[in-house]
Amino acid sequence: MVGMHPVGMKHFVRVTKFNAVLTAVENIVFLLLSKWDFTVLIGSLWGLLMTSAYFYLICVSVPRALNNTDAKVARKHIQATYLERMLVIALGVIIAFKVSFIHSWAAVIPLLFTRISISILYYKNNGEEE
């Protein structure tokens, strides 16, 4: 993955793996509720792709912003990339709700997974940063 700091890459891989586990759990829950079908699988994978793209963009843009010596330039960079990330998510959600072979709610649920993954991995390490 071009342009990603090694520490960012490490966190990206860990969080994405944990998000994949949560996506599997999501599919199991749909299955247990007798609501699972192929559209749920496609939707959950679409949501995983969206949340992975979002976190990837964070892992690339934050170190670049921190390399700027001018705080105003760094702030503008973060604001610009925030807009890009929101557009990626908005486009992904619109597609999820418009395409018939994607279960829209199964696609939206994974958008919560990155925050959950980061929190669990942080507490798993007893609150210590790596």
Q: How high is the pLDDT of residue 86?
A: 94
Residue 59 CA to residue 26 CA, distance in Å, equals: 25
Per-residue pLDDT for 31 more than 50?
A: yes
Report domain extents, the chain: 6-124
Rounded to 5 degrees, φ, ψ at 54 are -60, -50
| CA-wise closest residue to 54 among 115, 119, 122, 120 | 115
Question: Between the CA of residue 9 and those of 17, 20, 63, 65, 95, what are the distances in Å?
Answer: 12, 16, 11, 16, 28
Per residue in 49-78, pLDDT (tens digit) is 999 999 999 888 888 887 877 888 888 888
74 touches 50 (CB < 8 A): no
